[in-house]
């Protein structure tokens, strides 16, 4: 029985983290898939969302600014707003220039954000990070939540304490995973709506043929900034959920560009950029591979160090982690060259006015 609970929890954690990455990939899909904006600073937007959420919702602490103890959804919402503001700043400067500049600027802003998080120790507790970030559903079992409204309306502190004592200590895990999957679904539905709406078709037009879109009177710069800001807000939300999942965030290892920015890119490209379902599929697929390969590595290292007893297992452990990153990088190159459309290629929404018969006459570009 215990073993099954273990497998069940492993599956749930796969769904949780996979779902968080799916939100990152959906945000990136708005920027890259819809609008063709090359953002390599995903980790920066994630960090803004995560730190905003963390500072607003944690209990008061002497280590960092505040700990304002605000409601969790409010913290997530403000995290999205902050991330969107950073994106608007970058977008206003760089979007009118060629895509390369946006790439450089996003990688730069991600580094600057990390620099600020590391140096402003008064606000963020510097490299030691922010601890005890409340996580959805699990936070109900913290005293500061069940002793205050609305939970205090339904029972006294002692009752709640007894209630949570009776529950298994992983009670929150299925609920948390379900919440994340629900958020993925809601964002997916919203983005599908946006994609088939005139806004989405206009984005495709701008991406595919900018001069034509400009000539037909579309405000190209503005639309691009819109897409960039919306995508960044979604990434900020994902960052806030990431902070909830981890409960302890610090600037260097948590927000490693390789693990956030790069993995998200591989997920989107593998799944199919421009396709929201592709983004979600790619995220779960790559996260499963990533997570399962860790088990394989741990297993094979145990085997190898049994055979070659002179080798230091920790040596192999660190090297194997980097080898895995290298293989993911090579996988990305292979997808880019051989399967640029990904598993689920982009599907263009048909114009509502055009019949299937005269689709050829609508001047569809390749």
Partner 1 sequence: MWEFVNYYFIPGLVLGCIYALGAIGITLTFGILRFSNFAHGEIMMSGAYLTWTVMAAFTALGAYFGFSDWALHPLIAMVPAAALVILIFLATDRFFYKPFRKAETIKVVMASFGMMLIIRSAVQVIWGPNQITFVRGIAKPNATLSEITSNMGLQILMPNKHLFIFAGTIILVVALGYLLNRTRIGKAMRAVSDSPDLAHVTGINVDKVIRATWIVGGICAAAAGVFLVMDTQMLETTMGFRMLLPMFAAAILGGIGKPYGAVAGGLIIGLAEELSAYPWIGDTPLLSPGYKTGVAFAIMVVMLIVRPQGLFKGRSF
Could you give the count of Cα atoms lying within 13 Å of 90 in the half-sphere of its Cβ? 32
CB-based contact 147:157 (threshold 8 Å): yes
- List residues bridging with 249 in a β-sheet: 130
Query: Measured in Å, how far apart are the chain's first and last C-alpha atoms?
Result: 55
5 or 212: CB nearest partner 1: 212
177 or 269: CB nearest partner 1: 269
Phi-psi region of 239 (alpha: psi -120 to 50; beta: other; left: phi over 0): alpha
Least Å distance, CB 206 to partner 1, is 14
Asked if 107 touches partner 1 (CB under 8 A), the answer is yes
183 or 328: CB nearest partner 1: 328
Least Å distance, CB 89 to partner 1, is 9
Instruction: Name the residue among 98, 66, 58, 110 with its Cα closest to residue 246.
Output: 58
Q: Extract long-range pairs of 166-175: CB within 8 Å, 24+ residues apart.
A: 167/141, 170/5, 170/9, 171/137, 172/135, 172/136, 172/137, 172/138, 172/140, 172/141, 173/9, 173/12, 173/13, 173/16, 174/12, 175/136, 175/137
Asked if 128 touches partner 1 (CB under 8 A), the answer is no
Asked if 122 touches partner 1 (CB under 8 A), the answer is no
Asked if 212 touches partner 1 (CB under 8 A), the answer is no
Least Å distance, CB 324 to partner 1, is 8
Footprint of partner 1 on residues 20-49 (CB under 8 A)? 36, 38, 40
Task: Tell me whether the omega of the peptide bond preceding residue 150 falls within 30 degrees of 0, making it cis.
Answer: yes
- Token pair 């599908």 in the structure block, residue: 192
Instruction: Name the residue among 86, 65, 34, 5 with its Cα closest to residue 349.
Output: 34
Asked if 108 touches partner 1 (CB under 8 A), the answer is yes
Least Å distance, CB 284 to partner 1, is 21
121 or 152: CB nearest partner 1: 121
Contacts of 187 (CB under 8 A, 6+ apart): 23, 26, 234, 237
Least Å distance, CB 274 to partner 1, is 14
38 or 199: CB nearest partner 1: 38
- Token pair 């500049």 in the structure block, residue: 101
Dihedrals φ, ψ of 346, to 5°?
-65, 135
Asked if 333 touches partner 1 (CB under 8 A), the answer is yes
How many residues appear in the chain?
366
Least Å distance, CB 265 to partner 1, is 7
Q: Which stretch binds partner 1 (CB under 8 A): 21-29, 104-112, 283-291, 357-365?
A: 104-112
Interface with partner 1 (CB under 8 A), residue from 65, 103, 190, 194:
103
Interface with partner 1 (CB under 8 A), residue from 72, 82, 109, 233:
109
Asked if 68 touches partner 1 (CB under 8 A), the answer is no
Write each residue from 228 to 267 as x if it is in contact with partner 1 (CB under 8 A), else as -, in one continuous string: -----------------------------xx---x--x--
Interface with partner 1 (CB under 8 A), residue from 58, 332, 342, 344:
332
Asked if 115 touches partner 1 (CB under 8 A), the answer is yes
Using CA atoms, how far apart are residues 221 and 309, in angstroms rounded to an integer?
61
- List residues bridging with 130 in a β-sheet: 249
Asked if 313 touches partner 1 (CB under 8 A), the answer is no
Interface with partner 1 (CB under 8 A), residue from 182, 295, 326, 359:
326
Instruction: List residues binding partner 1 (CB under 8 A).
Output: 36, 38, 40, 93-94, 97-101, 103-105, 107-109, 111-112, 115, 118-119, 257-258, 262, 265, 269, 315, 318-319, 322-323, 325-326, 328-330, 332-333, 336-337, 340
């Amino acid at each position: 029985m215990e073993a099954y609970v273990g497998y069940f929890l492993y599956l749930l954690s796969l769904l949780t983290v996979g779902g968080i990455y799916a939100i990152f990939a959906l945000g990136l899909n708005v920027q890259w898939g819809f609008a063709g904006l090359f953002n390599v600073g995903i980790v920066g937007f994630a960090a803004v969302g995560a730190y905003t959420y963390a500072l607003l919702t944690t209990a008061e602490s002497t280590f960092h600014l505040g700990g304002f103890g605000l409601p969790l959804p409010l913290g997530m919402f403000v995290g999205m707003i902050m991330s969107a503001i950073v994106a608007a700043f970058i977008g206003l400067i760089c979007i009118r220039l060629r895509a390369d500049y946006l790439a450089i600027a996003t990688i730069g802003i991600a580094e600057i954000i990390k620099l600020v998080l590391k140096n402003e120790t008064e606000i963020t507790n510097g490299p030691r990070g922010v601890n005890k970030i409340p996580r959805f559903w699990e936070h109900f079992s913290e005293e500061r939540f069940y002793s205050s409204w609305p939970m205090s309306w339904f029972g006294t502190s002692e009752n709640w304490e007894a209630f949570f004592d009776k529950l298994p200590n992983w009670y929150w895990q299925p609920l948390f995973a379900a919440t994340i999957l629900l958020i993925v679904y809601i964002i997916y539905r919203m983005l599908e709506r946006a994609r088939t709406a005139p806004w989405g078709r206009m984005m495709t037009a701008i991406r595919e043929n900018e001069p034509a879109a400009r000539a037909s009177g579309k405000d190209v710069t503005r639309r691009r900034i819109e897409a960039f800001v919306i995508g960044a807000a979604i990434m900020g939300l994902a960052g806030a959920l990431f902070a909830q999942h981890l409960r302890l965030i610090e600037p260097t290892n948590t927000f490693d560009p390789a693990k956030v920015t790069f993995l998200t890119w591989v997920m989107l490209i593998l799944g199919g950029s421009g396709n929201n379902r592709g983004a979600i599929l790619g995220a779960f697929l790559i996260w499963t591979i990533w997570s399962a390969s860790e088990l394989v590595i741990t297993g094979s290292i145990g085997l190898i160090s049994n055979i070659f007893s002179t080798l230091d297992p920790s040596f192999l452990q660190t090297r194997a982690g980097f080898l895995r990153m290298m293989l993911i990088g090579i996988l990305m190159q292979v997808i880019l060259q051989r399967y640029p459309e990904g598993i689920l290629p982009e599907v263009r929404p048909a114009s509502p006015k055009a019949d299937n018969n005269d689709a050829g006459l609508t001047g569809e570009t390749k």
